[in-house]
Amino acid sequence: MDEKIQKTVEEAVTSHLQSLSQPPPANISPCSAHLKSSCASTEAPARQVDDVGLRFPVDDVTAPLTSCELHISEGDGTVKVDTGVVSPIDPTKTPRIYSIPIPAGYACVSVDRVVRGRESVPLDIEGGDGEKTLGEVEKTFICWRKRYIIILGVPPP
């Protein structure tokens, strides 16, 4: 069973990374739900697969089971789709989920309470048992893009 989960997650990660064709939104401020990007008129790289080199509030989490919100891009900003928890990332080890390395730009989060009406939000990376939507992974761990993880109780940068 573990080999099947590992193979499924590996295939999902590989498939997702190959299918990315749009760069992520430039707005990374955790409390700027409706602010427009100041980079709107600049040209982004043709293909930005991850956020290597960028630092996000989730990178500074030091306490296990820190409360967070998961957001998605919508319109000119972001909207909350879930509340959950995240634990510190050990910089001395390769972060993993289900024995598979977590791609750069992502963190492992627990999906606790999906916002009503947001259950059908598609996952960037399938869950451990092939789940494809946020509603299917409630009460489990998934990979979520760091730029869309809002740490609660942390003032904006």
Query: Tens of pLDDT along 60-104?
Result: 999 999 999 999 999 999 999 999 999 888 888 888 888 889 988
pLDDT above 80 (res 40)? no
- Domain annotation covers residue 47: no
Q: What are phi and psi of 16, to 5 degrees?
A: -65, -45
Question: How far apart are the C-alpha atoms of 8 and 82, rounded to whole Å?
Answer: 24
E strand or H helix at 83: strand 77-86
Which tens digits make up the pLDDT trace of 71-83? 999 999 999 999 9
**Domain extent at residue 123:** 2-24+61-151
**Helices (H), ranges, the chain:** 2-19
Radius of gyration of the chain (CA): 15
How many distinct structural domains can be found in the chain? 1
- Domain annotation covers residue 49: no
pLDDT above 50 (res 43)? no
pLDDT above 70 (res 47)? no
- Domain annotation covers residue 106: yes
Question: How far apart are the C-alpha atoms of 51 and 148, rounded to whole Å?
Answer: 12
Question: How far apart are the C-alpha atoms of 31 and 83, rounded to whole Å?
Answer: 15
Written as six digits, the tokens of 87 are 């634990």
- Across 123-147, average pLDDT: 93
Question: How far apart are the C-alpha atoms of 73 and 78, rounded to whole Å?
Answer: 4
Q: What is the pLDDT of residue 33?
A: 41
- Domain annotation covers residue 132: yes
Question: How far apart are the C-alpha atoms of 127 and 98, rounded to whole Å?
Answer: 10
71 vs 44, more confident? 71
Residues 6 or more apart whose CB falls under 8 angstroms from that of 44 comprise 23, 26
- Domain annotation covers residue 48: no
| Of residues 62, 84, 54, the one with CA closest to residue 157 | 54
- Domain annotation covers residue 108: yes
